[in-house]
Amino acid sequence: MADQVQLKVPKAGYRLFNSKTWAVFSEGVWHNNPIFGMMLGLCSTLAVTNLMSNALVMSVSVTVVLVANSAIISALRNHIPDRVRMIVYMLIVSTLVITVDMMLRICLPDISKALGPYVALIITNCIIMGRAEAFAVNNTVPVSIADSLGVGAGYTFSLMIMAFFRESLGFGTIFGLKVLPEAMSPIQLFAIPPGAFFALGVFILVVNTLKQRQAKEDDA
């Protein structure tokens, strides 16, 4: 699998950068960023990035499910028959998501209500199943956890930077706190779905430009 062999470790640096787990982690954060790189999980990304509080809760929820799912599947990878593996994956993911959803309803009822069905839809998130099928089933538990933490960090970074952009411009607030001067009016476009598409396109353009520049520097 590409996720297993194409790990871009920095040429120089501290010993930490030379470890396999760090290479796997950093790959998920940058080169295989689930939103700006692999374009996965876009439905929830566009829906919950209007406010930073919503984006933070969704990011943590996805990361918790992703890490737990990868660890469990990696631990059981030699005991799951190939013909029923997708069913087993779905059962594990469903159990984890239902648990997270119930915890949110108990601990953060207002945010849970604001997120609506999108927490439950983590079950169908391509990021979760993709890391299980492409990586966790082929690697040990520690490496699988490093991979899922990296992808989760990349997902969190993507959602939070988009939410910062949209909330500050669309509502004039950051985590509900007023940041725009009274003389400036919020740009309502960024508070609605078309603004989410625009913000996503801008960040994908920026990330791809930086990746191309980095690739040229590495080849030089």
* Amino acid 176: pLDDT: 82
The whole-angstrom separation of Cα 152 and Cα 146 is 10
Q: Where are the domains of the chain?
A: 19-219
* Amino acid 114: pLDDT: 85
Q: Where are the beta strands (DSSP E) in the chain?
A: 173-174, 177-178
* Amino acid 220: pLDDT: 67
Q: Mean pLDDT, 10 residues at a time, over the chain (220 residues)?
A: 44 48 84 87 87 93 95 93 91 94 92 86 88 90 92 94 92 88 84 88 90 79
Q: Do the beta carbons of residue 140 and residue 147 sit within 8 Å?
A: no
Structure tokens, 166: 């949209």
Which secondary structure element, helix H or strand E, spans residue 48, and what is its range? Answer: helix 42-48
DSSP assignment string, 161-207? HHHHHHHHHHTSEETTEE-S-TTSPP-GGGGSHHHHHHHHHHHHHHH
* Amino acid 40: pLDDT: 87
* Amino acid 149: pLDDT: 94
The whole-angstrom separation of Cα 69 and Cα 218 is 34
Shortest CA distance to 156 belongs to which of 60, 72, 76? 60
| Per-residue burial over 150-185, b = 16 or more CB atoms within 10 Å of its CB, e = otherwise | bbbbbbbbbbebbbbbbbbbbbbebeeeeeeeeeee
* Amino acid 7: pLDDT: 45
pTM of the predicted structure, to 2 decimals = 0.84
- Interior angle at CA 57, CA 70 and CA 147, nearest 5: 25
The whole-angstrom separation of Cα 88 and Cα 8 is 32
Q: Do the beta carbons of residue 120 and residue 101 sit within 8 Å?
A: yes
Structure tokens, 3: 């996720």
The whole-angstrom separation of Cα 193 and Cα 191 is 7
Q: Count CB neighbours of 209 within 10 A.
A: 10
| Per-residue burial over 101-133, b = 16 or more CB atoms within 10 Å of its CB, e = otherwise | beebeeeeeebbeebeebbeebbebebbbbbbe
